[in-house]
């Protein structure tokens, strides 16, 4: 595949770089399971087995073949820096097969559910994009969230290029989303009550924590990071290492027999469910939860990503 170039229509000024490859067995990563599973909303299957999307300020196409992760970028050169970005994005230094074995040994239910879904891993996304995207997930489905994020990027993000007449935009800057008219524009784009949370959080980060402070939360103790995030508009108790939404709540009750009172997710239930799964699966419990979510998604169900919007948000 090295050296092949993709055909582009209507964009003679934008060309793909030569294809490069990273070693990556399917047991460590499966693009068709990870990219459309609700972690990120910037990728689409542009041709069978090929995924095109935006990572950083660059448009990429990815595909897998013979234990290799192949990629090309548009409007730039592929090299050691792009290798590093891709490895960091997919966290390829984390050995997934060993984690699956550990989770399966501790949890026969996980072992059974995950046997047909290897290669599901958690992405290391830009914190600003990840935070603002997940504010949009409240009471929403993946397909609708994807369309919302596309509208958000087209309206507020910098245009990067067209591929096959499809425009690609960078994720908006905080400054763009913190503007005086941002909330009204977001409402006009169909964001509803989420509009004030997106613009309010962009403004709160700009005026307080700052982008650098948000990035530093990656290395902060869990409780401290959670406390800071929960002060932002639209972020509530779902800011968990094991994100507890109605989907996880149902899994806890139906598959694991947890006795949880009531018909909604209370703060106490949040804590109990999170503690249960962290105790069962260990430090990377959120990764194991992502595998079960993906398994349900590919069994013909599109779970609501986050249904219980916090009353105080």
Q: Which of 7, 115, 196, 238 is catalytic?
A: 238
- In whole angstroms, give the CA distance from residue 313 to residue 311: 6
Whether 238 is catalytic is yes
Q: Which residue has the tokens 């087995």?
A: 49
Contact 22, 92 (CB under 8 A): yes
Which of 141-148's residues contact partners 24+ apart within 8 Å by CB, and which partners?
141/302, 141/304, 141/305, 142/36, 142/37, 142/38, 142/41, 142/297, 142/302, 142/305, 143/302, 145/38, 145/41, 145/305, 146/41, 148/41, 148/189, 148/190, 148/191
Q: What are the angstrom distances between the C-alpha of 297 and each of 38, 49, 150, 204, 300?
A: 9, 18, 21, 34, 6
The residues annotated as belonging to the active site are 238
């Amino acid at each position: 595949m090295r050296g092949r170039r993709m055909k582009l229509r209507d964009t003679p000024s934008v060309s793909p770089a030569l294809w490069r490859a990273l070693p990556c067995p399917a047991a460590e990563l499966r693009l068709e399971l990870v990219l459309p599973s609700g972690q990120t909303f910037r990728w689409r299957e542009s041709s069978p087995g090929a995924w095109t999307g935006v990572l950083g300020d660059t448009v990429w196409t990815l595909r897998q073949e013979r234990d290799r992760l192949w990629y090309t970028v548009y409007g730039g050169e592929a090299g050691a820096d792009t290798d590093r970005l891709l490895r960091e994005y997919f966290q390829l230094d984390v050995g997934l097969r060993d984690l699956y074995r550990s989770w399966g040994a501790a949890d026969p239910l996980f072992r059974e559910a995950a046997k047909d879904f290897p290669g599901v891993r958690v992405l290391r996304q830009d914190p600003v994009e990840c935070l603002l995207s997940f504010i949009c997930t409240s009471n929403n489905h993946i397909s609708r969230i994807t369309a919302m994020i596309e509208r958000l990027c087209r309206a507020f993000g910098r245009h990067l290029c067209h591929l096959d007449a499809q425009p690609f935009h960078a994720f908006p800057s905080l400054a763009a989303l913190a503007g005086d008219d941002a909330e009204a524009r977001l409402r006009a784009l169909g964001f509803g009550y989420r509009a004030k949370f997106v613009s309010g959080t962009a403004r709160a980060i700009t005026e307080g924590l700052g982008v650098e402070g948000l990035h530093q939360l990656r290395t902060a103790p869990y409780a401290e990071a959670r406390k800071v995030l929960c002060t932002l508009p639209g972020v509530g108790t779902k800011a968990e290492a094991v994100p507890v939404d109605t989907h996880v709540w149902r899994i806890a009750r139906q598959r694991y027999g947890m006795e949880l009172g009531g018909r909604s997710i209370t703060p106490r239930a949040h804590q109990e469910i999170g503690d249960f799964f962290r105790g069962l699966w260990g430090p990377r419990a959120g990764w194991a939860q992502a595998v079960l979510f993906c398994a349900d998604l590919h069994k013909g169900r599109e779970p609501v990503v986050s249904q219980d919007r916090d009353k105080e948000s």
